[in-house]
Amino acid sequence: GENVEQHPSTLSVQEGDSAVIKCTYSDSASNYFPWYKQELGKRPQLIIDIRSNVGEKKDQRIAVTLNKTAKHFSLHITETQPEDSAVYFCAASAPPILGGYNKLIFGAGTRLAVHP
Amino acid sequence: DTEVTQTPKHLVMGMTNKKSLKCEQHMGHRAMYWYKQKAKKPPELMFVYSYEKLSINESVPSRFSPECPNSSLLNLHLHALQPEDSALYLCASSADREVGGYEQYFGPGTRLTVT
Protein backbone atom coordinates (compact mmCIF):
# COMPACT_ATOMS: atom_id res chain seq x y z
CA GLY A 1 0.00 0.00 0.00
CA GLU A 2 0.86 3.68 -0.16
CA ASN A 3 3.32 5.18 2.31
CA VAL A 4 3.98 8.90 2.68
CA GLU A 5 7.02 10.28 4.46
CA GLN A 6 7.18 13.94 5.48
CA HIS A 7 10.15 16.07 6.53
CA PRO A 8 11.02 17.93 8.62
CA SER A 9 8.90 17.10 11.66
CA THR A 10 9.46 20.59 13.05
CA LEU A 11 10.45 23.81 11.32
CA SER A 12 11.20 27.15 12.90
CA VAL A 13 11.60 30.29 10.77
CA GLN A 14 11.71 34.03 11.22
CA GLU A 15 8.83 36.10 9.95
CA GLY A 16 9.37 36.96 6.30
CA ASP A 17 11.53 33.92 5.58
CA SER A 18 10.48 31.06 3.32
CA ALA A 19 9.51 27.59 4.54
CA VAL A 20 9.72 24.35 2.60
CA ILE A 21 8.17 21.02 3.61
CA LYS A 22 8.91 17.88 1.63
CA CYS A 23 7.03 14.61 1.17
CA THR A 24 7.79 11.40 -0.66
CA TYR A 25 5.31 8.72 -1.64
CA SER A 26 5.71 5.10 -2.62
CA ASP A 27 2.74 4.21 -4.86
CA SER A 28 3.36 5.27 -8.46
CA ALA A 29 -0.41 5.08 -9.05
CA SER A 30 -1.00 8.04 -6.71
CA ASN A 31 -2.26 11.01 -8.67
CA TYR A 32 -3.62 13.51 -6.15
CA PHE A 33 -1.57 15.35 -3.51
CA PRO A 34 -3.29 17.75 -1.09
CA TRP A 35 -1.78 19.81 1.71
CA TYR A 36 -3.69 20.51 4.92
CA LYS A 37 -3.04 23.13 7.59
CA GLN A 38 -4.24 22.36 11.10
CA GLU A 39 -4.15 25.01 13.80
CA LEU A 40 -4.33 23.96 17.41
CA GLY A 41 -7.81 22.67 18.26
CA LYS A 42 -9.09 23.24 14.72
CA ARG A 43 -10.00 21.07 11.76
CA PRO A 44 -7.52 20.20 9.00
CA GLN A 45 -8.00 22.85 6.33
CA LEU A 46 -7.20 22.15 2.68
CA ILE A 47 -4.83 24.90 1.58
CA ILE A 48 -3.58 23.71 -1.79
CA ASP A 49 -3.50 20.54 -3.85
CA ILE A 50 -1.96 19.26 -7.05
CA ARG A 51 -2.81 16.51 -9.49
CA SER A 52 -0.25 14.43 -11.31
CA ASN A 53 -0.86 16.09 -14.67
CA VAL A 54 0.84 19.32 -13.51
CA GLY A 55 4.24 20.03 -11.99
CA GLU A 56 3.57 23.19 -10.01
CA LYS A 57 0.66 25.14 -8.63
CA LYS A 58 0.65 28.53 -6.86
CA ASP A 59 -1.86 30.36 -4.73
CA GLN A 60 -0.57 33.70 -3.46
CA ARG A 61 2.19 32.93 -0.92
CA ILE A 62 1.95 29.16 -1.14
CA ALA A 63 3.02 26.82 -3.91
CA VAL A 64 3.28 23.08 -4.38
CA THR A 65 5.68 21.28 -6.71
CA LEU A 66 5.47 17.68 -7.84
CA ASN A 67 8.18 15.44 -9.25
CA LYS A 68 6.46 12.26 -10.43
CA THR A 69 9.69 10.58 -11.48
CA ALA A 70 11.24 10.95 -8.05
CA LYS A 71 7.86 10.52 -6.32
CA HIS A 72 8.14 13.57 -4.17
CA PHE A 73 6.22 16.80 -3.70
CA SER A 74 6.88 19.92 -1.68
CA LEU A 75 5.03 22.83 -0.08
CA HIS A 76 6.63 26.25 -0.34
CA ILE A 77 5.47 29.17 1.80
CA THR A 78 7.03 32.55 1.05
CA GLU A 79 7.04 35.68 3.22
CA THR A 80 5.93 33.69 6.25
CA GLN A 81 3.72 35.34 8.85
CA PRO A 82 3.01 34.36 12.48
CA GLU A 83 -0.47 33.19 11.43
CA ASP A 84 1.20 30.55 9.25
CA SER A 85 2.21 28.77 12.47
CA ALA A 86 0.40 25.42 12.48
CA VAL A 87 0.87 21.72 11.73
CA TYR A 88 0.98 20.96 8.02
CA PHE A 89 0.07 17.53 6.64
CA CYS A 90 0.78 16.27 3.16
CA ALA A 91 -1.25 13.41 1.71
CA ALA A 92 -1.37 11.20 -1.36
CA SER A 93 -4.23 9.38 -3.02
CA ALA A 94 -4.45 6.77 -5.73
CA PRO A 95 -7.64 6.22 -7.75
CA PRO A 96 -9.95 3.75 -5.96
CA ILE A 97 -10.61 0.44 -7.63
CA LEU A 98 -14.33 0.91 -7.17
CA GLY A 99 -16.48 3.79 -6.04
CA GLY A 100 -16.14 7.56 -6.07
CA TYR A 101 -14.32 8.00 -2.78
CA ASN A 102 -10.80 9.26 -2.21
CA LYS A 103 -8.54 7.42 0.26
CA LEU A 104 -5.90 9.82 1.57
CA ILE A 105 -2.66 8.56 3.06
CA PHE A 106 -1.21 11.26 5.31
CA GLY A 107 2.34 12.14 6.17
CA ALA A 108 3.25 12.43 9.84
CA GLY A 109 3.01 16.22 9.85
CA THR A 110 5.33 19.21 10.18
CA ARG A 111 4.98 21.67 13.04
CA LEU A 112 5.83 25.10 11.63
CA ALA A 113 6.61 27.95 14.00
CA VAL A 114 7.00 31.46 12.56
CA HIS A 115 8.67 33.84 15.00
CA PRO A 116 8.01 37.59 14.79
CA ASP B 1 -20.48 26.41 0.75
CA THR B 2 -17.71 24.00 1.76
CA GLU B 3 -18.95 23.34 5.26
CA VAL B 4 -19.17 20.06 7.07
CA THR B 5 -20.79 20.24 10.50
CA GLN B 6 -20.39 17.89 13.43
CA THR B 7 -22.17 17.48 16.75
CA PRO B 8 -21.43 17.45 19.59
CA LYS B 9 -18.22 19.48 19.83
CA HIS B 10 -17.20 17.73 23.03
CA LEU B 11 -18.32 14.44 24.53
CA VAL B 12 -17.38 12.74 27.78
CA MET B 13 -18.62 9.20 28.21
CA GLY B 14 -18.08 6.28 30.51
CA MET B 15 -16.99 2.89 29.26
CA THR B 16 -20.51 1.47 29.61
CA ASN B 17 -22.30 4.33 27.84
CA LYS B 18 -23.80 4.39 24.36
CA LYS B 19 -23.49 7.63 22.43
CA SER B 20 -23.54 8.81 18.84
CA LEU B 21 -21.57 11.34 16.83
CA LYS B 22 -23.29 13.15 13.97
CA CYS B 23 -21.99 14.69 10.77
CA GLU B 24 -23.84 16.64 8.10
CA GLN B 25 -22.93 18.18 4.75
CA HIS B 26 -25.07 19.96 2.18
CA MET B 27 -22.56 20.15 -0.66
CA GLY B 28 -24.08 17.25 -2.56
CA HIS B 29 -21.02 15.13 -1.85
CA ARG B 30 -21.50 11.40 -2.28
CA ALA B 31 -18.51 10.19 -0.25
CA MET B 32 -18.27 10.65 3.52
CA TYR B 33 -15.50 9.63 5.89
CA TRP B 34 -14.80 9.08 9.57
CA TYR B 35 -11.29 9.72 10.87
CA LYS B 36 -9.75 9.40 14.31
CA GLN B 37 -6.97 11.81 15.28
CA LYS B 38 -4.76 11.46 18.34
CA ALA B 39 -2.67 14.37 19.59
CA LYS B 40 0.30 15.26 17.37
CA LYS B 41 -0.67 12.58 14.82
CA PRO B 42 -2.26 12.74 11.35
CA PRO B 43 -5.91 11.78 10.84
CA GLU B 44 -6.36 8.03 10.69
CA LEU B 45 -9.07 6.71 8.38
CA MET B 46 -11.76 4.57 10.00
CA PHE B 47 -14.66 4.28 7.54
CA VAL B 48 -15.66 5.44 4.08
CA TYR B 49 -19.20 5.61 2.71
CA SER B 50 -19.70 6.06 -1.01
CA TYR B 51 -23.22 6.59 -2.28
CA GLU B 52 -24.52 5.63 1.17
CA LYS B 53 -22.81 2.24 1.10
CA LEU B 54 -19.92 1.26 3.32
CA SER B 55 -16.88 1.07 1.04
CA ILE B 56 -13.99 0.90 3.51
CA ASN B 57 -13.75 -0.35 7.09
CA GLU B 58 -10.13 -0.07 8.20
CA SER B 59 -10.42 -3.00 10.62
CA VAL B 60 -12.09 -0.79 13.20
CA PRO B 61 -13.26 -2.53 16.42
CA SER B 62 -16.97 -3.30 16.50
CA ARG B 63 -17.51 -0.91 19.41
CA PHE B 64 -17.55 1.73 16.65
CA SER B 65 -20.57 1.36 14.36
CA PRO B 66 -21.05 3.72 11.40
CA GLU B 67 -24.34 4.56 9.76
CA CYS B 68 -25.25 6.63 6.71
CA PRO B 69 -29.01 7.34 6.85
CA ASN B 70 -28.93 9.47 3.68
CA SER B 71 -26.52 11.23 1.38
CA SER B 72 -26.15 14.23 3.72
CA LEU B 73 -25.81 12.52 7.08
CA LEU B 74 -23.24 10.28 8.69
CA ASN B 75 -23.38 8.87 12.20
CA LEU B 76 -20.88 7.05 14.36
CA HIS B 77 -22.41 4.97 17.14
CA LEU B 78 -20.19 4.33 20.14
CA HIS B 79 -20.59 1.56 22.70
CA ALA B 80 -18.34 0.10 25.38
CA LEU B 81 -15.40 2.30 24.47
CA GLN B 82 -12.01 2.17 26.10
CA PRO B 83 -9.98 5.09 27.49
CA GLU B 84 -7.55 4.73 24.57
CA ASP B 85 -10.42 5.62 22.24
CA SER B 86 -10.24 9.18 23.52
CA ALA B 87 -9.38 11.33 20.51
CA LEU B 88 -10.65 13.92 18.05
CA TYR B 89 -13.15 12.32 15.67
CA LEU B 90 -13.31 14.04 12.32
CA CYS B 91 -15.87 13.70 9.59
CA ALA B 92 -15.07 14.60 5.99
CA SER B 93 -16.80 14.58 2.63
CA SER B 94 -15.81 14.72 -1.02
CA ALA B 95 -17.52 14.84 -4.38
CA ASP B 96 -17.53 11.85 -6.68
CA ARG B 97 -13.94 11.30 -7.74
CA GLU B 98 -15.02 9.56 -10.91
CA VAL B 99 -16.49 12.86 -12.16
CA GLY B 100 -13.51 14.93 -11.04
CA GLY B 101 -14.09 15.45 -7.31
CA TYR B 102 -10.89 15.07 -5.33
CA GLU B 103 -10.98 17.63 -2.53
CA GLN B 104 -11.85 16.28 0.89
CA TYR B 105 -13.33 18.77 3.39
CA PHE B 106 -13.23 18.18 7.11
CA GLY B 107 -15.72 19.04 9.80
CA PRO B 108 -14.60 20.69 13.08
CA GLY B 109 -14.51 17.36 14.88
CA THR B 110 -15.86 15.95 18.12
CA ARG B 111 -13.42 15.84 21.04
CA LEU B 112 -14.21 12.54 22.76
CA THR B 113 -13.04 11.65 26.25
CA VAL B 114 -13.70 8.15 27.59
CA THR B 115 -13.54 7.87 31.36
| Cβ contact B104–A34 (<8 Å) | yes
Closest C-alpha to B27, from B101, B111, B114:
B101
Q: Work out the mean pLDDT of chain A and round it to a whole number.
A: 95
Is the pLDDT at B56 greater than 60, yes or no? yes
Q: In this structure, what are the phi and psi dihedrals at residue B13, rounded to the nearest 5 degrees?
A: -140, 150
Determine the average pLDDT of the residues in B72-90.
97
What is the percent of chain A with per-residue pLDDT over 70, rounded to a whole number? 100
Model pLDDT, residue B112: 98
Question: Is the Cβ–Cβ distance between B42 and B74 less than 8 Å?
Answer: no
Question: Is the Cβ–Cβ distance between A94 and A4 less than 8 Å?
Answer: no
Chain B contact present for A45, CB below 8 A: yes
Model pLDDT, residue B97: 77
Model pLDDT, residue A106: 98
Strand segments (E) across A1-116: 4-7, 10-14, 19-25, 32-38, 45-51, 56-59, 62-67, 72-77, 86-92, 105-106, 110-115
Q: How confident is the model at residue B98 (pLDDT cuts 50, 70, 90)?
A: confident
Q: Is the peptide bond before A34 cis (omega within 30 degrees of 0)?
A: no
Q: How confident is the model at residue B101 (pLDDT cuts 50, 70, 90)?
A: confident
Q: How confident is the model at residue A97 (pLDDT cuts 50, 70, 90)?
A: confident
Is the pLDDT at A99 greater than 80, yes or no? no
Model pLDDT, residue B2: 64
Determine the average pLDDT of the residues in A37-53.
95
Dump pLDDT digits (tens) for A75-84: 999 999 999 9
Q: How far apart are CA A104 and CA A4, in angstroms?
A: 10
Dump pLDDT digits (tens) for A100-111: 898 999 999 999
Question: Is the Cβ–Cβ distance between B48 and A103 less than 8 Å?
Answer: yes
| Cβ contact B96–A107 (<8 Å) | no
Q: How confident is the model at residue A2 (pLDDT cuts 50, 70, 90)?
A: confident
Which of the pair, B100 or A69, is modelled with greater confidence?
Answer: A69
Model pLDDT, residue B1: 55
Model pLDDT, residue A82: 97
Dump pLDDT digits (tens) for B14-28: 999 999 999 999 999
Chain B interface disruption, residue of A25, A102, A110, most B CBs within 10 A: A102
Question: Is the Cβ–Cβ distance between A27 and A2 less than 8 Å?
Answer: yes
* Residues of chain B found within 8 Å of residue A100, distances taken between Cβ atoms: 30-31, 50-51, 95-99, 101
Q: How confident is the model at residue B8 (pLDDT cuts 50, 70, 90)?
A: very high
Candidate from A46, A87, A99 with C-beta closest to B50: A99
Model pLDDT, residue A110: 98
Chain A contact present for B71, CB below 8 A: no
Q: How far apart are CA A23 and CA A6, in angstroms?
A: 4
Q: Work out the mean pLDDT of chain B and round it to a whole number.
A: 94
